[in-house]
């Protein structure tokens, strides 16, 4: 079927939310990349060998992307992708965010707590098995049957292997299911990070904007058996000055897009999901900012959480603006109208009918369970102690059942990931944890109302302030040994525990599991079924000249080095170090990092620092290797723009720009600023 309807559909539609892709559009899977069309559009001649080499050199690193750049496991990603690692291995006295992390030898490379990295080694179609598993079922039974089948497929393929991971991936919102097999690394060490300010110059204010002056790059190294991993397939380093118009390919794991959502579904996101997510995040931001002003310790503790929160928040703002932009939404509606005409209105009715339930259940489900897939609100404000306790309590309860009857995150095939997260040795800051818990309980009570049946068991007769203080101050879960003992002790150990956080999680299992079941029953299952029907209609209308929504799995996109020329976004594609010196005021966040400033005279002022490309990326693409048509790495994707956030809902060629830190800038940092001669040699820089 491939490409049958391609020419026709490209001619018809310049904008392709729900239909087929326009030139340079698309976060394509590696088994359905439009090689011919990309070559035609870009004037390149890539082939299947290029795709294989790029795929095997690409790395999924936690929620980020990365690229292998040497034969000895060296990997480049963004500094903001290692920021939490840097925070975790720092103390207030030895703060690598301030100084940079610059080991002079491999022995000084330090393990990132809980870090994992994966390389995609195989893709197999399992659509038929997955569709069959759900046949004739509805509601929670449908969801559970499919989750169980996915777990079985994963276990069959990967067994107990510790260096592999198998994942059943839903593509086209259930239109296809693929089994992805990864080579997995669990010993990831930090090999280089610049001073934080060198990577974050301009802070939140310059985030999601351009011109940009940030060396947002860092290096990690993959280890196996306590030695650097052998990685014969890797990108060659090309640090030559970039040229406007050059074709580029960006290979990474974009997190999530909602392009295949119907307009009805999108109105729910606009009216309900984004407003709650953003409003409560804004309050947490306020609490954390004030906390960070209370002293140097507080500033140190809150730094990474605030950056992370502000990044998510600013992205959400961009999305709110996209969904309330009359012109953008009119174009998207026109795209859907074309599809409606081809597929028939009836195909859309089921998804429309679910929306009142989504509107009603989003707040309780997001607040009590998190992980809705459509919003950013997470349970307990991301309190690490709470989340560990939840893994321990649920893990114990679930492991007492057969694998195919468990919550899917505790299926046999996924226990290894749960353990890795649980046993990670990282610092915990009780005051921050308490701020998160208090804020979460307070916002949950506020949004669901004090008389809600969801809220009463959550708080009992305590206030959010009292409860959060009690459980955070009393828990011993900050100690990894305590967590390990509770995990290994199973349900008996959990039930016998007098840890107040464990007891609290036991107490709230009933209401939180109930809302999860209700969501599966009324929202998730009917949405999955409706989306599957829509996917079939879409294949029928447009063939597979469509690409699936991003799902946090490896994709390849293509485009050119190019500036922007639309209202609110007019600039050429490059910034230089000269621009950085010009923009600096000395007042944070516009202060140049000390070591970088000291190297000013050693870096040619016209060295290109950052650049923009037209490739189609989104959050999760951070750290993606940017590759030329010869397969050489020329930069790392690290950002896009506020206006580009519409990208979540539809591709807009005029607006969509990704922001890249160039290999030239990274080379200058390694060589001229931080004296990383070992890495420079390893990269083969002359």
For residue 257, give the nearest of 565, 549, 666, 463 by alpha carbon.
Answer: 549
CB 266, min distance to a second copy, A? 13
Nearest to 560 by CA among 619, 631, 628, 608: 628
From the CB of 279, what's the least distance to a second copy, in Å? 5
Q: How far is the CB of 640 from a second copy (least distance, A)?
A: 16
**HEC assignment per residue over 104-163:** CCHHHCEECCCCCEEEEEEEEECHHHHHHHHCCCCHHHHHHHHHHHHHHHHHHHHCCCCC
DSSP percent split of the chain into helix, strand, coil, nearest 5: 50, 15, 35
Six token digits for residue 444: 């949950």
CA–CA gap between residue 296 and residue 543 (Å, rounded): 58
Task: Compute the distance between CA of residue 482 and CA of residue 605 in angstroms, rounded to an integer.
Answer: 53
Q: How far is the CB of 571 from a second copy (least distance, A)?
A: 11
What are the residues whose beta carbons fall under 8 Å from the beta carbon of 489, sequence distance 6 or more? Answer: none
In whole angstroms, the minimum distance from the beta carbon of 315 to a second copy comes to: 14
Q: Is 562 left (phi over 0), alpha (psi -120 to 50) or beta?
A: beta
We find the least distance from the C-beta atom of residue 360 to a second copy, in angstroms, to be: 10
**Strand-pair category, 236-237 with 632-640:** parallel
What is the 3-state secondary structure of 367-418? HHCCCCCCCCCCHHHHCHHHHHHHHHHHHHHHHCCCHHHCCHHHCHHHHHHH
Residues forming the site for a second copy (CB under 8 A): 202, 204-206, 209, 270-272, 275, 278-280, 282-291, 293-294, 317, 320, 324, 435, 439, 445-446, 449-450, 461-463, 465-466, 585-588, 590
Residue closer to a second copy by CB (options 93, 450) is: 450
Distance in Å, CB of 270 to a second copy, minimum: 8
- Pick the closest to residue 555 from 469, 632, 615 (CA basis): 615
CB of residue 612 to a second copy, shortest distance in Å: 17
Least Cβ distance, residue 450 to a second copy (angstroms): 5
Provide, rounded to whole angstroms, the least separation between the CB of residue 561 and a second copy: 23
Our CB check for a second copy shows the closer of 350 and 446 to be: 446
Q: Which C-beta is closer to a second copy: that of 152 or that of 270?
A: 270
The partner residues of 636 in beta bridges, in order of sequence, read 625, 661
Q: What is the distance in angstroms between the CA of the first residue and the CA of the last residue of the chain?
A: 48
Q: Which lies closer to a second copy via its Cβ, residue 37 or residue 443?
A: 443
What minimum distance in Å lies between the beta carbon of 79 and a second copy?
Answer: 21
Do the beta carbons of residue 9 and residue 545 sit within 8 Å?
A: yes
Name the nearest CA neighbour of 67 among 660, 672, 668: 660
Q: Would you say 271 or 632 has its CB closer to a second copy?
A: 271
Of 35 and 317, the one with the shorter C-beta distance to a second copy is: 317
Pick between residue 24 and residue 206 the one whose CB is nearest to a second copy. Answer: 206
CB of 305 to a second copy, least distance (A): 13
Nearer to a second copy, 461 or 686 (CB): 461
Closer residue to a second copy in complex, CB, 261/683: 261
- How far apart (Å, rounded) are the C-alpha atoms in residues 305 and 291? 12
Residues paired with 481 in a beta bridge = none
Vertex 392 angle, CA 388 and 395, to 5°: 125
Q: Which residues pair with 66 in a beta bridge?
A: 59
Q: What is the 3-state secondary structure (H, E, C) of 96-111?
A: HHHHCECCCCHHHCEE
Q: Which is nearer to a second copy, 13 or 269 (CB)?
A: 269
* Cβ nearer to a second copy, comparing 288 with 633: 288
SS (H, E, C) 559-571: EEECCEEECCEEE
Sequence-separated (6 or more) residues with CB below 8 Å from residue 195 = 97, 98, 99, 100, 593, 594, 595, 596
Q: How far is the CB of 624 from a second copy (least distance, A)?
A: 26
| Calpha distance 559→659 (Å, rounded) | 12
Look up residue 629 and give its DSSP letter.
Answer: T
- Smallest separation, CB 510 to a second copy (Å): 21
Q: Residue 340: CB partners within 8 Å, gap ≥ 6?
A: 347, 348
Q: Closest approach of Cβ 272 to a second copy, in Å?
A: 7
Which residue number, 279 or 605, has a Cβ lying nearer to a second copy? 279
Are 561 and 248 a contacting pair, CB within 8 Å? yes
The smaller minimum CB distance to a second copy, of residues 282 and 405, is found at: 282
In 3D space, the residue among 361, 375, 355, 365 whose CA is nearest the CA of residue 527 turns out to be 355
**Residue 365, SS3?**
helix
Nearer to a second copy (CB atom), residue 310 or residue 336 = 310
Q: Which lies closer to a second copy via its Cβ, residue 310 or residue 652? A: 310
C-beta of 71 vs 589, nearer to a second copy: 589
């Amino acid at each position: 079927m491939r490409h049958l309807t391609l020419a026709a559909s490209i001619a018809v539609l310049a904008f392709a939310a729900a239909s087929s892709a326009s030139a340079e559009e698309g976060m394509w899977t590696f088994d359905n990349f439009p090689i011919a069309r990309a070559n035609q559009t870009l004037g390149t001649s890539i082939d299947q060998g290029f795709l294989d080499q790029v795929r095997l050199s690409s790395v999924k690193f936690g929620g980020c992307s990365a690229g292998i750049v040497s034969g000895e496991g060296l990997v480049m990603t963004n500094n903001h992708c290692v920021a939490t690692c840097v925070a975790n291995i720092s103390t207030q006295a030895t703060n690598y965010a301030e100084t940079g992390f610059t080991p002079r030898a491999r022995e000084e490379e330090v393990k990132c707590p809980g870090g994992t990295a994966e390389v995609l080694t195989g893709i197999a179609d399992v659509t038929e098995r997955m569709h069959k598993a759900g046949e004739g079922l509805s509601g929670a039974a449908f969801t559970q049957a499919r989750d169980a089948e996915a777990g079985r497929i994963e276990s069959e393929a990967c067994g107990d292997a510790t260096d592999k991971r198998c994942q059943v991936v839903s593509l086209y919102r259930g239109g296809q299911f693929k089994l992805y097999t990864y080579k997995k690394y669990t010993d990831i060490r930090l090999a280089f990070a610049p001073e934080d300010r060198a990577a974050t110059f301009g802070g939140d204010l310059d985030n999601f904007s351009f011109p940009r002056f940030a060396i947002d790059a860092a290096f990690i190294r993959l280890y196996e058996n306590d030695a650097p991993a052998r990685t014969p397939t890797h990108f060659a380093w090309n640090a030559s000055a970039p040229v406007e118009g050059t074709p580029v390919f960006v290979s990474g794991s974009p997190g999530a897009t909602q392009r295949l959502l119907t307009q009805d579904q999108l109105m729910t996101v606009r009216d309900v999901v984004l407003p709650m997510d953003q409003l409560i995040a804004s309050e947490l931001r306020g609490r954390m900012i004030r906390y960070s002003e209370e002293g140097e310790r507080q500033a140190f503790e809150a730094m990474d959480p605030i950056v992370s929160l502000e990044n998510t928040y600013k992205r959400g703002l961009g999305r709110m603006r996209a969904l309330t932009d009359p012109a953008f939404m009119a174009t998207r509606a026109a795209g859907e109208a074309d599809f409606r005409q081809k597929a028939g209105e009836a195909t859309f009715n089921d998804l429309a009918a679910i929306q009142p339930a989504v509107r009603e259940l989003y707040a309780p489900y997001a607040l009590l369970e998190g992980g809705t897939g459509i919003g950013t609100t997470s349970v307990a404000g991301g309190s690490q102690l709470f989340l560990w306790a939840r893994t321990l309590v649920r893990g114990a309860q679930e492991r007492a059942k057969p694998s195919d009857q468990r919550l899917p995150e505790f299926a046999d095939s996924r226990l290894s990931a749960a353990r890795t997260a649980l046993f990670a040795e990282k610092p915990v800051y009780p005051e921050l944890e308490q701020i998160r818990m208090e804020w979460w309980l307070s916002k949950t009570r506020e949004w669901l109302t004090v008389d809600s049946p969801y809220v009463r068991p959550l708080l009992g007769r305590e206030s959010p302030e009292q409860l959060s203080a009690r459980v955070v101050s009393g828990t011993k879960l900050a100690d990894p040994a305590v967590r390990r003992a509770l995990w290994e002790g199973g349900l008996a150990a959990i039930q016998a525990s007098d840890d107040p956080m464990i007891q609290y999680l036991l107490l709230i299992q009933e209401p939180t599991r109930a809302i999860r079941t209700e969501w599966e029953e009324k929202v998730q299952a009917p949405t999955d079924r409706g989306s599957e029907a829509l996917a079939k209609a879409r294949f029928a209308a447009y063939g597979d000249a469509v690409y699936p929504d991003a799902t946090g799995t490896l994709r390849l996109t293509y485009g050119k080095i190019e500036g922007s020329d639309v209202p609110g976004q007019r600039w050429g594609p490059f910034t230089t170090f000269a621009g950085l010196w010009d923009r600096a005021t000395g007042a944070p966040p516009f202060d140049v990092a000390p070591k970088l400033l000291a190297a000013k005279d050693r870096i040619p002022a016209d060295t290109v620092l950052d650049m923009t490309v037209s490739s189609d990326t989104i959050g999760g693409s951070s750290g993606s290797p940017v590759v030329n048509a010869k397969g050489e790495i020329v930069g790392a994707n690290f950002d896009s723009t506020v206006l580009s956030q519409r990208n979540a809902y539809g591709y807009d060629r005029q607006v969509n720009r990704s922001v890249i830190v160039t290999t030239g800038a990274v080379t200058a940092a390694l060589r001229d600023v931080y004296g990383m001669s070992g890495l420079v040699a390893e990269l083969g820089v002359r």
